[in-house]
Amino acid sequence: MKSKVSVIGAGNVGATLGGMLAQSGLADVALFDIAEGMPQGKALDIRQACALWGSASRITGTNGYEDTRGSDIAVITAGLARKPGMSRDDLLRANAEIVGGAAEQVARLSPSAIVIVVTNPVDAMAYLAWKATGFPSKRVVGMGGALDSARLRAFIALELGVSPADVSAVVIGSHGDEMVPLTRLASVGGVPLTELLEKQKIEAIVQRTRHGGAEIISLLKTGSAYAAPAASAFEMLRAIMLDEKRVLPCSAYLDGQYGIKGVYAGAPVVLGKEGVEKVVEITLDEAEKSAFARSAEAIKTLIDKL
């Protein structure tokens, strides 16, 4: 029997993720949105594409939470997207109500589900979803570090003219301006990045990664990134559904790891069928430690506002 995944929010990220899931054949999908007709139309479009993909996944569009009942995994993408000049922090109040309500419905209808939060500001929203569901923290995880790490890998690959598949890099901390790209540990085909690029160019790549989402928003004018966020969420979903034990940077509840307690923040975690099965601790140098502490403090400020 296929897994059931509910995607709450059928905007660009949600619908793209729904399409990826349907194409993979890994799960049946319930695509939920409050906009009448919109999730139904997108689901019908994806179902027609399944004929070309050779996929037997069923995808249903709905305006009723009841259709999400019994989900193995629920992905919350619902919320307002950033507009030009808007920070992730500006979204806090608007999206807290949406995410909190969605999390309560997930807990009511799918009490055994694992929840992946995509809505920004994702670290604070993951904390809110954890509180609203009452689930163990290992069953609520935020998508942030996977996306930031993908952006860092992409920019390194562009600079060097190599395949991003051969670039290994990780970003920890908040999914925001206080993120901590660990360039000291980045490598290309096993060769340390520091041996391939001078410090100035690495710093330029770091700055572009920090503002990777804002760069896309400024180019699109109306809307924000969705292909890479959806692909990041899909990578996390697949790791959970197939119990792959992937080590991916995600927003997870830290209970003393890295000297941080009581917040959701980006860190490498082992993702498997139980959700966040372990937080992997990397030995950080002093500069990285203090940057991570600042990052966690920024997240804590948002959580306190909640």
211 in active site: no
Tokens for 129?
Answer: 């979803």
Residues 172 and 184: their CA atoms lie apart, in Å, by 13
From residue 93, how far is each of 22, 37, 203 by CA, in Å? 33, 27, 33
Tell me which H or E stretch contains 23.
Answer: helix 12-24
Residues 46 and 16: their CA atoms lie apart, in Å, by 9
From residue 288, how far is each of 180, 182, 224, 292 by CA, in Å? 7, 8, 29, 6
Number of neighbouring beta carbons within 10 Å of residue 154: 18
The DSSP output letter for 275 is E
**Nearest residue to 237 via CA among 34, 37, 76:** 76
CA angle centred on 10, ends 70 and 273, rounded to 5°: 40
Residues 306 and 303: their CA atoms lie apart, in Å, by 5
**Catalytic residue chosen out of the listed positions 175, 210, 246, 300:** 175
Q: Which residues are catalytic?
A: 175
